[in-house]
């Protein structure tokens, strides 16, 4: 699964004090976990081992795999699944839900403004350069009206927790966030493994996600026909998230198409079928902007649909997510999100932003260079944890080398403090022990803006590790939201 890496490293505190989501400091169990813990304590260890094995077998059978690229081609792997759920109570979830909806509403308003009147630039809240020099900015979209003014129809907000009510957003993913198929499959597996746990408390269901997604996609159709044609556009079966594309298309009952299945004629997008051409109204695309239209963007792309940009501009097809949404989700723009929320909604941000120093600014640069050993430094457009300096973990030589790189183009870097990620009980060889986690809820926008209750919890399975990436020993958990 291609996901960006969480900025998450140990603090320099000799005795790290991480927030434990299940155990209070006095050893008691927090309310959210009480029922589940009672149940688990009664299950002998051997039986838990059996359940873990059963879960692995189920995932293998369903075929939820991701591709790992290596020498001599790619192989299909399973992401490790942990049978202990991450549980949030109603109050905790309310905070996350409100915060995510607020953020995505503000970001969609921001994108509409950027591609129209640019009030926020005129007001000087966001510097013009941040937009115009941003490679994700699409001048082609200037002045183009999108259905319901939605740019990011599916958004993934990456969140970490460091205290009882301290949730921090690490980043916003407004382009083509993946991973939601795991949310649905994880729940299926958990309901098989622990039916009693679901009987004893009200866990908010997530299974209607595809239904809600389809509903929102239909709501942004440019035509007023009651049955718009919606398709899911995939780069194809060699893409690492192909199984998710297949899964979602099947669940929604829509065609899974590749670029070559679509074409543009008479100002419309059409799909080649055995019954002849069929008009397409909404394209839920899982291909990056750059590859979507060889006539407008990368000319060498074989994945896209030549001419589709012109149809979008004419308002005859809707793309989800829209072109140019990425201008609002890079690491430098991230630092402006609290201002963006205040500007468009006039509200106080519900979720915290991690303090961010933009190294293009002299004062910030000076501070960061002095405190390099305490901070995490990232490239503005980097992802997947590449090209990143983790100050506390780096050697002096590494820091010096990074400093030279940074000074070459300081505007391309940001720095953040290290965060103490919370832990969740996790099944390990030694029994159930705390491991660090993050959370990605999925926000849908269209007719309304809403979040499915839960999301993808990623867990660093190795003891002490703060890296939750699946490529580096990370796994996933089901996320339960208790309805009361």
Partner 1 sequence: MLSRTAQNLFWLSRYIERAENTARLLDVTYRMSLLPSAASQQDQQWRPLLVIGHSAEEFAARYGQISGASVIEYMGFDAANPSSILACVAAARENARAERSAISTEMWEALNATHLELQSKKYRDFAKDGVRGFFDWVKERSHLFRGVTFGTMYRDDAFHFIRVGTFLERGDNTARILDIKYHQLLPEPRVNGEPVDYFQWGALLRSVSAFRAYRQAYHDTVDPQRIAELLILDADMPRSLLYCFEEVLNTLATLGGTRPRECQRLAGEIHASLKFGRIDRIVAGGLHDFLNGFLVRSNRLAAQLQRDFMMSLQLD
Residue given tokens 């020498």 in the structure block: 71
Sign of CA dihedral 360, 469, 173, 87: negative
CB of 236 to partner 1, least distance (A): 8
Q: Are 152 and 104 in contact (CB under 8 A)?
A: yes
In the set 75, 272, 355, 393, which binds partner 1 (CB under 8 A)? 272
CB of 468 to partner 1, least distance (A): 30
Scan residues 461-480 and list those touching partner 1 (CB under 8 A).
none
In the set 41, 46, 227, 266, which binds partner 1 (CB under 8 A)? 266
Return the structure tokens found at 381. 């457009």
258 touching partner 1, by CB under 8 A: yes
* Dist CA 249 CA 422 (whole Å): 35
In the complex with partner 1, the residue whose CB is nearer, 200 or 260, is 260
143 Rama sector, left if φ>0, alpha if ψ -120 to 50, beta otherwise? left
Scan residues 391-420 and list those touching partner 1 (CB under 8 A).
none
73 touching partner 1, by CB under 8 A: no
Whole-Å CA distances, 94 to 90, 98, 468: 6, 6, 24
CB of 266 to partner 1, least distance (A): 7
Return the structure tokens found at 20. 């434990």
In the complex with partner 1, the residue whose CB is nearer, 270 or 334, is 270
How far does Cα 211 stand from its chain's mean position?
Answer: 20
Scan residues 274-293 and list those touching partner 1 (CB under 8 A).
274-277
In the set 246, 295, 369, 388, which binds partner 1 (CB under 8 A)? 246
261 touching partner 1, by CB under 8 A: yes
In the complex with partner 1, the residue whose CB is nearer, 120 or 305, is 305
273 touching partner 1, by CB under 8 A: yes
Q: Are 220 and 282 in contact (CB under 8 A)?
A: yes
* Dist CA 375 CA 390 (whole Å): 7
In the complex with partner 1, the residue whose CB is nearer, 202 or 260, is 260
CB atoms within 10 A of CB 12: 11
In the complex with partner 1, the residue whose CB is nearer, 248 or 377, is 248
CB of 75 to partner 1, least distance (A): 14
In the complex with partner 1, the residue whose CB is nearer, 80 or 277, is 277
Nearest alpha carbon to residue 269 among 311, 234, 240? 311
44 touching partner 1, by CB under 8 A: no
Q: Are 115 and 327 in contact (CB under 8 A)?
A: no
58 touching partner 1, by CB under 8 A: no
Size of the site for partner 1 (CB under 8 A): 21
CB atoms within 10 A of CB 143: 10
In the set 129, 196, 250, 409, which binds partner 1 (CB under 8 A)? 250
256 touching partner 1, by CB under 8 A: yes
Q: Is 290 helix (H, G, I), strand (E, B) or coil?
A: helix
Which residues make beta-bridge pairs with 158? 171
CA within 13 Å, CB half, 110: 31
Q: Is 314 helix (H, G, I), strand (E, B) or coil?
A: coil
In the set 12, 128, 260, 371, which binds partner 1 (CB under 8 A)? 260
188 touching partner 1, by CB under 8 A: no
CB of 226 to partner 1, least distance (A): 22
At 417, which helix (H) or strand (E)? Answer: strand 413-417
Return the structure tokens found at 120. 């926020």
CB of 373 to partner 1, least distance (A): 50
CA within 13 Å, CB half, 225: 11
Return the structure tokens found at 105. 């509403």
CB of 249 to partner 1, least distance (A): 7
The residue range among 187-195, 214-222, 271-279, 298-306 that interacts with partner 1, by the rule CB under 8 A, is 271-279
Burial of 375 (0-12, 13-18, 19+ CB in 10 A): buried
The residue range among 33-41, 89-97, 252-260, 441-449 that interacts with partner 1, by the rule CB under 8 A, is 252-260
In the complex with partner 1, the residue whose CB is nearer, 122 or 265, is 265
CB of 243 to partner 1, least distance (A): 9
Nearest alpha carbon to residue 135 among 321, 330, 308? 330
In the complex with partner 1, the residue whose CB is nearer, 94 or 272, is 272
Whole-Å CA distances, 54 to 30, 81, 195, 343, 466: 28, 11, 14, 50, 27
CB of 315 to partner 1, least distance (A): 20
The residue range among 136-144, 153-161, 205-213, 245-253 that interacts with partner 1, by the rule CB under 8 A, is 245-253
In the set 119, 265, 267, 370, which binds partner 1 (CB under 8 A)? 265
60 touching partner 1, by CB under 8 A: no
At 53, which helix (H) or strand (E)? Answer: helix 45-62
Q: Give the binding site for partner 1 (CB under 8 A).
A: 237, 246, 249-250, 255-258, 260-261, 263, 265-266, 270-277
């Amino acid at each position: 699964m291609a996901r960006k890496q969480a900025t998450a490293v140990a603090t320099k505190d000799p005795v790290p004090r991480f927030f434990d989501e299940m155990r209070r400091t006095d050893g008691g169990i927090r309310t959210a976990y009480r029922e589940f813990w009672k149940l688990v304590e009664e299950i002998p260890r051997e039986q838990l081992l059996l359940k873990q094995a059963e879960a692995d077998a189920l995932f293998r059978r369903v075929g939820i795999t991701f591709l790992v690229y290596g020498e001599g081609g790619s192989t299909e792997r399973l992401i490790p699944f942990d049978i202990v759920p991450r549980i949030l109570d109603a109050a905790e979830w309310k905070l996350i839900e409100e915060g995510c909806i607020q953020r995505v509403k503000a970001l969609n308003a921001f994108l509409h403004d950027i591609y129209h009147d640019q009030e926020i630039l005129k007001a000087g809240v966001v510097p013009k350069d941040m937009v115009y020099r941003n490679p994700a900015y699409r001048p082609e979209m200037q002045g183009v009206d999108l259905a319901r003014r939605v740019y990011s129809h599916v958004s993934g907000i990456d969140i970490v927790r460091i205290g009882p009510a301290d949730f921090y957003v690490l980043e916003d993913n407004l382009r083509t966030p993946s991973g939601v198929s795991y949310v649905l499959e994880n729940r299926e597996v958990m309901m098989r493994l622990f039916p009693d746990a679901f009987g004893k408390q009200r866990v908010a269901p997530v299974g209607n996600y595809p239904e809600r997604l389809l509903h929102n996609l239909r709501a942004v159709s440019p035509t007023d026909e009651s049955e718009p044609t919606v398709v899911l556009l995939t780069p194809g079966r060699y893409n690492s998230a192909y199984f998710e594309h297949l899964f979602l298309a099947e669940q929604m009952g829509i065609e899974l198409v590749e670029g070559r299945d679509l074409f543009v004629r008479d100002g419309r997008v059409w799909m080649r079928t055995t019954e002849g051409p069929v008009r397409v109204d909404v394209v839920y695309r899982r291909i990056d902007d750059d590859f979507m239209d060889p006539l407008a963007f990368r000319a060498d792309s074989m994945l896209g649909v030549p001419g589709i940009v012109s149809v979008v501009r004419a308002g005859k097809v809707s793309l989800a997510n829209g072109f140019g949404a990425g201008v609002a989700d890079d690491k430098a723009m991230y630092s402006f999100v609290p201002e963006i929320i205040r500007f468009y909604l006039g509200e106080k941000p519900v979720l915290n932003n991690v303090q961010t120093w933009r190294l293009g600014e002299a004062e910030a640069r000076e501070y960061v260079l002095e405190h390099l050993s305490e901070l995490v430094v990232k490239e503005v457009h980097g992802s997947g944890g590449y090209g990143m300096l983790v100050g506390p973990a780096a050697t002096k030589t590494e820091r010096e080398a990074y400093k030279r790189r940074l000074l070459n183009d300081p505007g391309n870097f940001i720095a953040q403090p290290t965060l103490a990620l919370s832990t969740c009980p996790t099944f390990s060889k030694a029994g159930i022990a705390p491991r660090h986690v993050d959370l990605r809820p999925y926000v849908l926008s269209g007719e309304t803006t809403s979040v499915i209750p839960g999301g993808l919890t990623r867990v660093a399975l190795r003891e002490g590790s703060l890296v939750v990436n699946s490529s580096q020993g990370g796994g996933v958990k089901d996320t339960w939201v208790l309805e009361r």
